């Protein structure tokens, strides 16, 4: 697989990162053992910085998986703030519910079960922060729904925009071709949309950050 940054720099940065223990450490291990993709640790730290800085009242996450990023966000929210998180996988939902219960943060977390492409058009209240981390073929649709649901000066945080490096690779393995094309199209949209101040930073698997004008 191509890399996002050189291995030596990656190793250097890895040497600084704190490995979570307790529940988050257990979740990282579970995700690794069961091949469930979760946010890269560096990307999770940047996500936490943005949450801490922007102090959102309402957060929407699209793609809960086992709830790793949900718990990292919820633990930083203000007293009355909430996160809505959407997940469609019947396998992942009970695992996430169990972790939410164990985290002691389930009062701050509202898990919405189903496909975000169907759920988002029915959401009425706007959000201060939206984290998009779902299937790549859904990104374009979910981007437009997110834009409608994001408040002015709200933050859109999108994962996987460098897609293991494939967006800029000369050769792409057949199984990654479609998803890579989806991401490449998405990146054009994300970086050129007039409603957002946006950029992609080479952290983790590539993070998109867009602020609504
Ligand atoms: C990369 S994982 C999310 C990881 C999680 N955000 C984290 O960092 O801990 C993507 C998840 O999104 C879910 N998903 C993908 N497309 C979706 C959609 N359209 N609606 C709801 N869930 C979706 C998948 O089932 C999967 O569990």
Task: Give the model confidence (pLDDT) of 111-153 as tens digits.
Answer: 999 999 999 999 999 999 999 999 999 999 999 999 999 999 9
The atom number, within ligand 1, closest to the CA of 70 reads 9
CA-CA distance, 4 to 206, in Å (whole number)? 8
Measured in degrees and rounded to the nearest 5, phi and psi for residue 207 equal -110, 135
The position carrying tokens 């981390």 is 133
Contacts of 91 (CB under 8 A, 6+ apart): none
Residue pair 39/205 in contact (Cβ under 8 Å)? The answer is no
Query: Does residue 3 carry a pLDDT above 80?
Result: no
What's residue 134's pLDDT?
A: 98
Residue 133 alpha carbon to ligand 1 centre in Å: 6
68 CB within 6 A, ligand 1:
yes
Mean of per-residue pLDDT scores for the chain: 96
The atom number, within ligand 1, closest to the CA of 160 reads 1
Average pLDDT over residues 51-60: 98
Average pLDDT over residues 177-186: 96
5 membership: H or E segment, kind and range: none
What's residue 1's pLDDT?
A: 67
- CATH 3.40.50.150 given to domain 7-212: yes
Nearest CA to ligand 1 atom 7: 38
pTM of this prediction exceeds 0.85 = yes
Average pLDDT over residues 32-43: 96
Q: How confident is the model at residue 19 (pLDDT cuts 50, 70, 90)?
A: confident
Q: Where are the alpha helices (DSSP H) in the chain?
A: 7-14, 22-33, 41-54, 68-74, 92-103, 116-119, 139-149, 174-192
The atom number, within ligand 1, closest to the CA of 115 reads 20
Residue 151 alpha carbon to ligand 1 centre in Å: 23
155 CB within 6 A, ligand 1:
no
CA-CA distance, 157 to 200, in Å (whole number)? 10
Angle at the Cα of 166 (from 168 to 189), degrees rounded to 5?
70
């Amino acid at each position: 697989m191509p890399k996002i940054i050189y291995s030596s720099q990656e190793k250097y940065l890895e040497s600084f990162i704190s490995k979570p223990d307790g529940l988050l450490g257990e979740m990282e291990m579970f995700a690794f053992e069961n091949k469930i993709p979760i946010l890269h640790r560096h990307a999770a730290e940047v996500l936490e910085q943005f949450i801490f800085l922007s102090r959102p009242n309402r957060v929407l996450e699209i793609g809960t998986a086992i709830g790793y990023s949900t718990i990292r966000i919820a633990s930083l929210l203000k007293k009355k703030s909430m996160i809505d998180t959407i997940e469609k996988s019947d396998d992942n939902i009970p695992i996430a519910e169990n972790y939410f219960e164990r985290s002691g943060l389930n009062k701050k977390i509202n898990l919405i079960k189903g496909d975000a492409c169907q759920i988002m058009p029915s959401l009425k209240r706007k959000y201060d922060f939206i984290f998009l981390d779902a299937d790549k073929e859904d990104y374009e649709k979910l981007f437009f729904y997110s834009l409608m649901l994001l408040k002015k000066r709200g933050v859109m945080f999108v994962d996987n925009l460098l897609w293991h490096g494939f967006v800029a690779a000369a050769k792409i393995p057949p199984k990654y071709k479609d998803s890579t094309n989806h991401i490449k199209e998405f990146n054009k949209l994300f970086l050129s949309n007039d409603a957002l101040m946006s950029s992609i930073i080479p952290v983790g698997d590539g993070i998109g950050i867009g602020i609504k004008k």
